[in-house]
Chain A
Amino acid sequence: MTRRTVPAAGLPGWVVVPAAVAVLFVALPLVAMAVQVPWPDFWSLITSESALTALGLSLRTAGASTVVCVVLGVPLALVLARSERRGLGLLRSLVILPMVLPPVVAGIALLQTFGRGGLLGERLELLGLQVAFSTVAVVIAQTFVALPFLVISLEGTLRTAGTRYERVAATLGASPSTALRRITVPLVLPGLVSATVLAFARALGEFGATITFAGSLQGVTRTLPLEVYLQREVDPDAAVALSALLVMVALVVIVVARPRRVAR
Chain B
Amino acid sequence: MSLRVAAALESRGFDVDLTVAAGETVAVMGPNGAGKSTLLDVVAGVLRADEGTVTLAGQELAGPHTWVPAHRRRVALLSQDPLLFPHLSVRDNVAFAPRAAGSGRRSAREAAYSWLERLGVRELAGRRPHQISGGQAQRVALARALAAEPTLLLLDEPMAALDVDVVRELRPLLREVTAARSTVLVTHDPLDALLMADQVVILEGGRVVEQGQVHDVLTRPRSTFAARVAGLNLLRGTWRGDRLVLADGAEVFGGSQGCVEGAAAVAVFAPRAVSVFASAPGGSPRNEFAVVLSEVESRGDVVRLHAGDLAADVTPRAVTQLGLEPGAAVVFSVKAAEIAIHPA
Contact = CB atoms under 8 A, between A and B. Distances in A.
Interface of A: 164-165, 167-176, 178-179, 182-183, 186-187, 189, 263-264
A170 B45 contact: yes
Given A172-B144, A263-B87, A182 B96 contact: yes
21 contacts: A164-B81, A165-B85, A168-B85, A170-B69, A170-B70, A170-B71, A171-B46, A171-B71, A171-B73, A171-B75, A171-B145, A171-B148, A171-B154, A173-B72, A173-B74, A173-B97, A175-B100, A178-B100, A182-B99, A183-B85, A263-B86
Interface in B222-252: none
B322 interface: no
Contact of B100 (A164, A169, A186, A264): A169
A171 B100 contact: no
B105 to A, nearest CB: 13
Contacts of B97: 172-174
Smallest CB-CB A-B distances: 7 pairs: A170-B70, A174-B100, A172-B97, A171-B77, A173-B100, A170-B71, A186-B87
A177 to B, nearest CB: 10
Main secondary structure of the interface of A (DSSP, over half): helix
Given A165-B85, A171-B145, A172-B100, 8 more contacts: A171-B46, A171-B73, A173-B74, A173-B100, A175-B100, A176-B71, A189-B87, A263-B87
Interface in B60-102: 69-77, 81, 83, 85-87, 96-97, 99-101
Interface residues of B, number: 26
A264 B85 CA distance: 9
A56 to B, nearest CB: 37
Contact of A173 (B71, B81, B83, B154): B71
B59 to A, nearest CB: 15
The residue in A169, A173, A182 that gathers the most chain B C-beta atoms within 10 A of its C-beta is A173
A264 B83 CA distance: 9
A169 B46 contact: no
A172 B87 contact: no
B86 A187 contact: yes
A174 to B, nearest CB: 4
Choose among A165, A170, A183, A264 the residue with the greatest number of B CB atoms under 10 Å from its CB. A170
B200 interface: no
B156 to A, nearest CB: 11
B44 interface: yes
A168 B100 contact: no
Nearest to A175: B71
B77 A168 contact: yes
A170 B101 CA distance: 11
A165 B83 contact: yes
Given A178-B100, A182-B96, A172 B83 contact: no
Interface centre among B71, B99, B154 (most CB of A within 10 A): B71
B87 A187 contact: yes
A168 B71 contact: no
Interface in B95-135: 96-97, 99-101
A164 B44 CA distance: 14
Contacts of A187: 85-87
Nearest to A189: B87
A224 B144 CA distance: 53
Contact of B76 (A164, A165, A172, A176): A172
A189 B86 CA distance: 12
Contacts of A179: 71
A167 to B, nearest CB: 6
A8 B116 CA distance: 47
Given A174-B71, A175-B71, A169 B96 contact: yes
Contacts of B145: 171-172
Contacts of B70: 167, 170-171
A179 to B, nearest CB: 8
Contacts of A172: 71, 76, 96-97, 100, 144-145, 148
Contacts of B148: 171-173
A135 B44 CA distance: 52
Contacts of B76: 171-172
A169 to B, nearest CB: 7
